[in-house]
Structure 1
């Protein structure tokens, strides 16, 4: 998963990517490290979703720009608009169902 290093890279990614999934983590977050491979595996089912990671402790502006108060935070954007937000303790079955609904609906419109 490619990491975004600057807030402008994050903004550009979200605004220029049809289906943008942002994984906000922190280096010292054990939950983040456990969740990351599960998320990568889940998103393999959705090849049109573009996934990027941002380390909140390295890109500090991410917190203010997207109102992120804890890690991990998962954000799913469609054409620059936030459709899904999950944080800290993610229920993967619920997350998978939400992604499926959004993905199926948005792709049927294309």
Structure 2
């Protein structure tokens, strides 16, 4: 399964996004049962995309994540290229659709290299 970087501050989030060309941020809360169900599926999905790095943010710990990324509910998953958001999946994620979106973006990024 895809390795997760635990992000515990906005500064860490900014560094994580700056360090990796493609990043997926998973924002959740410990009391969210949907969050707990989605994360293992996301980790499994991202195994097929070695260039995408996965970071996890607990919204209870990093409260400013809501304003930084305009998050109104959890779970939220954001595919970022640098500081730019390309995919936002929240609440009830359709993983087949998410895979299609990832395939398209991944193909475009790899073509540019």
CA distances 1:56-104 after superposition (whole Å, capped 9, x unpaired): 0110000011100111100001132111111000010000100110011
Number of residues of Structure 1 aligned to a counterpart in Structure 2: 110
- Does 2:14 correspond to 1:14? no
1:12-91 alignment, distance < 5 Å:
12-91=15-94
**Alignment TM-score, normalising by the size of structure 2:** 0.94
Q: Do 1:17 and 1:80's aligned partners in 2 also have CA atoms closer than 8 Å? A: no
Stretch deviating more after TM superposition (7-16 or 82-91): 7-16
Q: Which 4+ residue blocks in structure 1 deviate beyond 2 angstroms?
A: none
- Alpha-carbon RMSD across the aligned residues, in angstroms, is 0.8
In structure 2, list runs of 5 or more residues that go unmatched: none
Q: Do 1:16 and 1:80's aligned partners in 2 also have CA atoms closer than 8 Å? A: no
Please give the alpha-carbon distance, in whole angstroms, between the structure 2 residues aligned to 1:86 and 1:15: 21
Please give the alpha-carbon distance, in whole angstroms, between the structure 2 residues aligned to 1:65 and 1:77: 13
C-alpha deviation, 1:12, in angstroms: 1.5
